[in-house]
Amino acid sequence: MSTADLALPVDVPSTALFTDRYEFTMLQAALRSGAAHRRSVFEAFTRRLPEGRRYGVVAGTGRVLDAVANFRFDAPVLEFLERERVVDAETLDWLAGYRFTGDVWGYPEGEVYFPGSPILRVEGSFAEAVLLETVVLSILNHDSAIAAAASRMSVAAGDRPLMEMGARRTHELAAVAASRAAYVGGFSSSSNLAAGFRYGLPTIGTSAHAFTLLHDTERDAFTAQVESLGRSTTLLVDTYDLTAAVRTAVEVAGPELGAVRIDSGDLLLLAHRVRQQLDDLGAEQTKIVVTSDLDEYAIASLAAAPVDAYGVGTSLVTGSGNPTCSMVYKLVARAAADDDPDAPLVPVAKKSLGGKTSVGGRKWAARRLDDEGHAAAEVIGSGPIPPDLADRQLLVPLIRHGEVVAREPLDAARARHIEARAGLPLSATQLSRGEPVIPTELI
């Protein structure tokens, strides 16, 4: 399924330079040594979850597929590499015809993961696969961090919708990716129109304090907004006096007023006061939306408050204190011979006295369940798959022989995450710090 098939109106441009220089210098040296065409297996994984987190969330897979499909070297890019003397003429000739022709397997987007999970497995020649390292990690580390924060906020919010409002708190392009990842993690809409345009996300937004301040009176501002957007609009009621603003809002829009938004103050106390006031004014159906630097802990503290929806910005787009997942992309196996496509794979791994060790071998992953059907362990191995885990494998084909085979609507990833999270032990939803909710077993 292509971008056009999904009705996505924006294609991803070339991603060939979304990388680090040493990918190209390694390529050049490998071409010279003859090892560049050796069949290789790279895996993306994280050695640990952010401190205190119980699970991770895979996000950005769809963007990785776009990045691989659009990893191309056109004339301007090749001219830049030549001008900056990044690589030699032989390597430039090789890059001019670059197309990834290998296979990619991975956890499907929205799935949960744990330390050591082979979230993405890239198989192809060393030359083809090594160039993808930086762009793959850039996408997975960012998007998975946002999705994990979104998932925790979604747990805290329960059935109440979450709106993403973080565009002004991060890089303009990162904001679009963050909106997408937040949707995978459980958010229902975004204020970011670029995200709506590119990914078909529902978008929301009415007015800021500037609109109220523009008018001579708050009543004038509310009247203008209602006349323009209708009585179902959301009025921002904390510019001046909250109680007076709520009364004016109902007088202007009537009991059909859609919602009021509170953006400052003691949200727990104010939500109760505003709910009582709205009910007394006959606006029992008018909803209350709260914003103001919310995170999962603030959302959880409002669980007993009469709040109908939350708007979250800064904390979400910065991963709620963990803006990266520390994923790495490591060579774990390579062919025993350079040019023999049927040569057996040899496990390889870095040895380190510190915490940067890795486990060699082309791996599979499966999730063992307990007697109640909940996840009990993340089982990872490179040998034969035990029969009892054969139907619990987590990696799925994403690219075969260079062709993307796993396009899907974003709603599918969002639904998958809800299902995957529900399959974890109940303690996974606790916001308190703890160890990963299930252990990782290497066999």
Neighbours of 65 (CB within 10 A): 22
Q: Which long-range contacts (CB under 8 A, 24 or more apart) does 291-295 make?
A: 291/165, 291/261, 291/262, 291/263, 292/262, 292/263, 292/264, 292/265, 292/267, 294/153, 295/153, 295/320
How much is the pLDDT for 342? 81
Q: How many Å apart are CA 67 and CA 64, to the nearest integer? A: 5
pLDDT at res. 11: 56
> How far apart, in whole angstroms, are the C-alpha atoms of residue 211 and residue 239?
10
Beta strand ranges found along 133-175 (DSSP E): 162-164
| DSSP 8-state symbol, 226 | H
Label residue 267 by pLDDT band (50, 70, 90).
very high
Is 8's pLDDT higher than 50?
Answer: no
Q: What is the per-residue pLDDT for 4?
A: 41
Which carries the bigger pLDDT value, residue 110 or residue 51?
A: 110
Q: Reply yes or no on whether the pLDDT at 202 is more than 90.
A: yes
Task: Decide if 71 contacts 367 (C-beta within 8 A).
Answer: no
Mean pLDDT computed over 158-174: 96
Kindly state the helix (H) or strand (E) to which residue 347 belongs, with its residue range.
strand 345-347
Q: Dig out the tokens for 336 from the structure.
A: 């025993």
Q: What is the pLDDT of residue 350?
A: 86
- In the DSSP assignment, the letter for residue 262 is E
Taking residues 60-85, what's their average pLDDT?
96
CB 338 within 8 A of CB 34: yes
Strand 103-106 versus strand 396-400 pairing type: antiparallel
Mean per-residue pLDDT, 50-70: 96
3-state SS class at 20: coil
Please state the separation of Cα 283 from the chain's center in Å. 38
Three-class DSSP category at 4: coil
Q: Kindly report the pTM of this predicted structure.
A: 0.94
What tens digit of pLDDT does each residue of 389-425 get?
A: 999 999 999 999 999 999 999 999 999 999 999 999 9
Residue 420 CA to residue 390 CA, distance in Å, equals 18
Q: CA 65, CA 195: separation in Å to the nearest integer?
A: 18
Give residue 102's region: left, alpha or beta (phi > 0; psi -120 to 50): beta
| Rg (the chain; Cα; Å) | 25
Q: Which CATH number fits domain 147-321: 3.40.190.10, 3.20.20.70, 3.40.640.10, 1.20.1630.10?
A: 3.20.20.70
**Range 141-154 burial, b when 16+ CB lie within 10 A, else e:** bbbbbbbbbbbbbb
DSSP 366-417: EEEE-TTS-EEEEEEESSPPPGGGGGGB--EEEEETTEE-----HHHHHHHH
Q: Measured in whole angstroms, how far is the alpha carbon of residue 125 from the centre of its chain?
A: 28
pLDDT for residue 9 is more than 50 = no
Contact between residue 416 and residue 109 where contact means Cβ atoms under 8 Å apart: yes
Q: What percentage of the chain exceeds 70 in pLDDT?
A: 97
Q: What is the pLDDT of residues 298-334, one digit of tens each?
A: 999 999 999 999 999 999 999 999 999 999 999 999 9
pLDDT score of 220: 98
For residue 428, pLDDT beyond 50: yes
The closest of 302, 276, 278, 329 to 130, measured between CA atoms, is: 329
Q: Are 262 and 234 in contact (CB under 8 A)?
A: no
pLDDT for res 302: 98
Question: Region 245-253: what's the mean pLDDT?
Answer: 98
Distance CA 416, CA 153 (A): 17
Q: Does the 21-131+326-442 domain belong in CATH 3.20.140.10?
A: yes
The pLDDT assigned to 326 comes to 95
pLDDT at site 28: 98
Residue ranges per domain, the chain? Answer: 21-131+326-442, 147-321
Separation of alpha carbons 248 and 251, rounded Å: 5
> How far is it, in rounded angstroms, from Cα 103 to Cα 398?
8
What are the pLDDT digits (tens) for 345-361?
999 998 877 777 789 99
**Which pLDDT tens digit goes with each residue over 106-164?**
999 999 999 999 999 999 999 999 999 999 999 999 999 999 999 999 999 999 999 99
Per-residue pLDDT, 12 = 53
Instruction: Using alpha carbons only, give the angle 231, 237, 242 rounded to the nearest 5 degrees.
Output: 135
Sign of CA dihedral 271, 277, 279, 284: negative
Contacts within 8 Å (CB) and 24+ apart, 156-159? 156/296, 156/297, 156/299, 156/300, 156/303, 156/431, 157/186, 157/299, 157/310, 158/303
Tokens 């990893």 found at: 71
Q: Assign 227 a pLDDT band (cuts: 50, 70, 90).
A: very high
Q: Which residue has the higher pLDDT, 290 or 350?
A: 290
User: Is there a contact between 359 and 66 (Cβ–Cβ < 8 Å)?
Assistant: no
For residues 55-79, average pLDDT: 96
- What pLDDT is recorded for position 155? 97
Q: Which amino acid is at 136?
A: V
What is the bridge-based pairing of β-strands 345-347 and 234-236?
A: unpaired
